[in-house]
Structure formats: structure tokens, C-alpha cells
């Protein structure tokens, strides 16, 4: 019987035209946008406080914006951070690295926007990396050959970790020093690639361009799911924003006096 998993035929096509140049022009998965239109927003106090106020996403990722829209934060103002994301990886553990990057992104945009005529009520940033079985940090592919090597390495290696750090900042109501409240959250999900995925399938996936702007070079919410055998942990964390942890971080800065969270998910 014919099995497309093991076919050796491969059409030779040019690689996708763009990687880091204009990654956000790639189409986002319509599933999230359609789902968000059908759902009513969550009726949570921390989200209700933000209705009609300026909420900034310090990321150009359409997937993170779509995930936030699912919980009712639909009028997000996207202000990508200009942080260079060039921290010396040798000085950090994987968790320290992704957390520091998320914080730098958030602080950069917060400082930029807080003195504007329309200061934000909340700034949300996130950073996602993949940590290989051997502990190496795997980020976005640099080019077509790098993309191929990255996915083949993840297939041939043991399960890898997807680590996302979230940082949220909000002005203090009374202006008390330092003038803002900050809360962070970090989450890990273990992903296992199917070792039976062929080189030809990986090459075909890379040519679609879907994974060019994504940590690890694949999008689990899209065609990249054909590479994955299993995940252990939060699916939306792999997409790029762990919603449960993000909600708890938002509540912590909106209601800083509350010791116990009211969010039960």
C-alpha cells in the first residue's frame, strides 16, 4: 500500500523567499481567528478591568495576538520590541535566557509607550525557544539549509522542550516607585517528533515557508503538526503563549493585593 510517509519522490523547488526579513507577512492559521469570533470573552475581573483600555502586545507574532483574542483581548495594540535579542547564551540557562529576553522586550516597549498620550494599561511580551535533548537552545532558522538541519536534528534527537517566558507590566495606580508592576511566568512543554518522518517530508514542509519565523522551525498549530508524534504539556505554550500562565500574570499586576488567584482553569 502506498504510504506518503515513506515516499522517496521529491520535487526540486526553490526555498522559501524569506526568513528573518519579513516573517510576520506569513499567513497566520485561520483556526484561531475563526474560533475567537465564535466565542464570548471570558468574564474575569482582571480582563473586565482592561476593557476599553490600551493593551499592548510587545510582539509581532500573529499567533500570540490570536491566542489573546481567544480570551477576549481583541483590541490589542501591537508594538514590537526593538530589543536585539542578542544575549550571550553561554551565560544563561535556557530558562534564564528566555525569561531575560521576555523581560527586556517588555521593559523596552513599556518605557517607550508609558509617556505617550495614550499610555498603556498593560504591556505583554513573550519569548519562545526550543531546548534540545542535549540542552542546546534552538531558535528561529537562519536560512533554508539551517531550517532543514534544524528539523532533521529535532527528528533524530530525543524529545525536546519548548520553553516560553511571559512578562506583563502595568503602571502602579498611585505612581509608587518604580512606577510599574511586573509579573513573569515560564512554562515548558515536551515535544516528540516522529522518527519515521522522512527527509523528503521535512524538505517539503520547509518549502512551505510556514516554520521560517518560528522557534525550532515548525508550527504545531499548522502543517508542522505532521512532524509531531506527541506532546506532554500545554499546547498553546508550543504555539507561543501559555494562556493559563498569562492570565495569572495579568491578574497579579491588575490586582496586586490579592494573594490568592481567582482564576481556576
Q: Which three cell numbers stand for residue 126?
A: 513573550
122-131 and 55-57: which strand pairing? parallel
pLDDT at 55 over 90: yes
Say what the pLDDT of residue 177 is: 64
pLDDT at 175: 65
| Burial degree of 208 (CB within 10 A; 0-12, 13-18, 19+) | middle
Examine the pLDDT at 45 and tell me if it is beyond 50: yes
Q: Is the pLDDT of residue 25 over 50?
A: no
Q: Would you say residue 41 has pLDDT above 80?
A: no
| Residues ≥6 apart with Cβ < 8 Å to 3 | none
Which domains, and CATH codes, for the chain? 27-254 (3.90.950.10)
Parallel, antiparallel, or unpaired for β 180-193 and 228-232? Answer: antiparallel
Listed in sequence order, the residues at least 6 apart from 255 whose beta carbon sits closer than 8 Å to its beta carbon are 45, 46
If you average pLDDT over residues 125-145, what whole number do you get? 92
Average confidence score pLDDT of the chain:
85
**Eight-state DSSP code of residue 224:** G
> What's the rounded mean pLDDT across residues 40-48?
85
How many distinct helices (H) and strands (E) make up the chain?
A: 8, 7
- In tens, the pLDDT along 146-181 reads 999 999 999 999 999 999 999 999 998 776 667 889
Indicate the DSSP class of residue 216: G
Phi/psi for 239 (5° steps) reads -65, -35
Least confident of 5-14, 92-101, 145-154, 228-237: 5-14
Residue pLDDT, tens place only, 60-85: 999 999 999 988 898 899 999 999 88
At 100-134, the pLDDT tens digits run 999 999 999 999 998 888 889 999 999 999 999 88
d(CA 99, CA 124): 13
Look up cell 527527509; give the residue: 199
pLDDT digits (tens, 9 = 90+) for 248-264: 999 999 998 754 444 44
Mean pLDDT computed over 18-26: 51
For 5, residues 6+ apart whose C-beta sits below 8 A from its C-beta are 196, 197, 198, 201
Lowest mean pLDDT among 14-28, 49-63, 190-204: 14-28
- pTM recorded for the entire structure: 0.80
Cα–Cα distance measured from residue 67 to residue 39, given in angstroms and rounded to the nearest whole number:
12
Catalytic sites, residue numbers: 127
Amino acid at each position: 500500500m502506498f504510504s506518503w510517509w515513506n515516499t522517496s519522490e521529491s520535487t526540486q523547488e526553490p526555498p522559501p523567499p524569506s526568513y528573518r526579513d519579513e516573517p510576520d507577512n506569513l499567513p497566520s492559521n485561520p483556526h484561531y481567528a475563526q474560533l475567537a469570533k465564535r466565542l464570548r470573552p471570558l468574564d474575569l475581573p482582571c480582563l473586565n478591568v482592561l476593557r476599553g483600555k490600551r493593551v499592548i502586545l510587545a510582539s509581532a507574532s500573529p499567533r500570540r495576538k490570536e491566542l489573546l483574542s481567544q480570551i477576549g483581548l481583541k483590541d490589542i495594540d501591537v508594538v514590537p520590541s526593538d530589543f536585539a535579542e542578542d544575549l550571550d547564551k553561554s551565560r544563561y540557562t535556557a530558562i534564564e535566557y528566555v525569561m531575560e529576553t521576555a523581560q527586556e522586550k517588555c521593559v523596552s516597549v513599556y518605557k517607550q509607550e508609558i509617556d505617550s498620550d495614550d499610555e498603556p494599561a498593560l504591556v505583554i511580551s513573550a519569548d519562545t525557544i526550543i531546548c534540545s535533548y542535549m540542552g542546546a537552545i534552538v531558535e528561529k532558522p537562519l536560512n533554508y539549509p539551517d531550517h532543514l538541519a534544524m528539523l532533521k536534528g529535532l527528528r533524530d534527537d530525543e524529545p525536546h522542550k519548548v520553553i516560553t517566558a511571559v512578562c506583563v507590566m502595568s503602571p502602579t495606580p498611585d505612581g509608587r516607585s518604580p512606577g510599574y508592576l511586573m509579573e513573569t511566568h515560564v512554562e515548558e512543554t515536551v515535544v516528540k517528533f516522529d522518527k519515521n518522518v522522512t527527509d523528503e517530508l521535512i524538505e517539503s514542509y520547509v518549502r512551505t515557508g510556514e516554520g521560517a519565523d518560528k522557534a525550532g522551525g515548525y508550527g504545531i498549530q499548522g502543517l508542522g503538526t505532521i512532524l509531531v508524534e506527541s506532546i506532554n504539556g500545554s499546547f498553546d505554550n508550543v504555539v507561543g503563549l501559555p494562556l493559563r500562565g498569562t492570565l495569572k500574570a495579568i491578574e497579579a499586576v491588575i490586582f496586586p493585593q490579592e494573594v490568592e488567584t481567582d482564576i481556576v482553569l
